[in-house]
A = this chain, B = another copy of it.
Amino acid sequence: MKIDTIGVQAFVAIAECGSFQTAAESLFLSQAGITRRLQNLEDYLGVKLIERTTRSMALTQVGAEFLPHAKRLLIELAGSLNEIRDSGRLKRGSVTIACVPTVGVRFLPRIIQAYSRQYPENHIKILDHTSAGVSRAVLQREAEFGITIAGSHHAELFGVPLIEDKFVLVCRDDHPLANLPALEWRDLEPHPLISIGQFSGNRPLLDRAQQENGVSLQSLYEVQRVSTALGRVAEGVGAAVLPGLALQREAYPRIRVLKLGNPVVSRGLVLITRKTAELSPAAEALYELVKSYQDNAE
């Protein structure tokens, strides 16, 4: 059950060089070493592979049959090994990460651009998930790391805070609040709002903020996705409290975005990995890049 390539390597070298001496040189070894290696292999196999005199050398029947296999195996092994080495040295390979939709749309693109400039060959796959889904994907190793909304940590996960995404009021320019200079949560109470459904990670944050500040907002309409809410606002149905990062400014010209104070409520975005994770070099590079964007966010 003792498998070793060292002898095979010697065999192939000798066969290709046509001489022990040159083969030894090509393997940076003394000719005595080569002889020993081949002898060991032949002893193990119980068959001579190379027929040799001092003047000439030729493959045995068995040796000739083995050579192509041996060569191919060696090349494939070396290839695999080198590929992995490259993946480490050059941080090559593809990376799969998971994040909540907002992050994927607004936060990541510029980071990915920067990453692609540095590692043009690498492919990044982004899994859009709810905040719970991101944790799950990371835990199950579907993604090497994730970006999600701060909250309850799973014990095996390790989080690094990235940025605070402040909640803002979104309304159309003809909304009563549209032109107020400063806005507080209490100001919203009279106005019916479009709210985001249960599954979004934003909801618990908003509910708690209301409770702690004794504010009670009216939910007029409940939608599941931020983009839907935005559409309703644009249609004039009402205003909505949304995470600032979720907005794509250009999409609707008449929409106003107002800062909300007293208190400033925000959702923290965190970069999560498994505590014991060994990231692939390509992923490690992206991870570090994301971390470096910690503060220069909106």
* Partner-B contacts on A (CB < 8 A): 1, 3-6, 8-9, 27-28, 44-48, 51, 53, 56, 58, 60-62, 66, 69-70, 73-74, 76-78, 80-81, 84-85, 87-89, 93, 141, 144, 276-281, 283
Contacts and interface: CB of A to CB of B under 8 A. Distances in A.
A247 to B, nearest CB: 34
Nearest to A58: B141
A66 B46 contact: no
Contacts of A1: 27-28
Given A93-B62, A141-B58, A280-B61, A77 B73 contact: yes
Given A4-B4, A5-B3, A278-B48, A62 B74 contact: no
B88 A80 contact: no
Contacts of A77: 3, 5, 8, 73
A81 B45 contact: yes
Which one of A28, A48, A81, A89 has the highest number of Cβ atoms from chain B below 10 Å of its Cβ? Answer: A81
Contacts of A66: 80, 84
Contact of A4 (B6, B58, B60, B278): B6
A61 B3 CA distance: 26
Given A5-B4, A5-B5, A45-B85, A69 B62 contact: no
17 contacts: A1-B28, A3-B74, A4-B5, A5-B77, A46-B89, A47-B85, A47-B281, A48-B278, A56-B276, A61-B280, A62-B281, A69-B80, A70-B80, A73-B73, A73-B76, A73-B77, A73-B80
Given A73-B77, A77-B3, A280 B87 contact: no
A87 B47 contact: yes
Contacts of A279: 61
A27 to B, nearest CB: 8
A89 B60 CA distance: 16
Contacts of A48: 278
Which one of A78, A85, A87 has the highest number of Cβ atoms from chain B below 10 Å of its Cβ? Answer: A87
Contacts of A4: 4-6
Which one of A27, A73, A277, A281 has the highest number of Cβ atoms from chain B below 10 Å of its Cβ? Answer: A73
A139 to B, nearest CB: 11
A280 B73 contact: no
Nearest to A45: B84
A223 B76 CA distance: 57
A93 B276 CA distance: 52
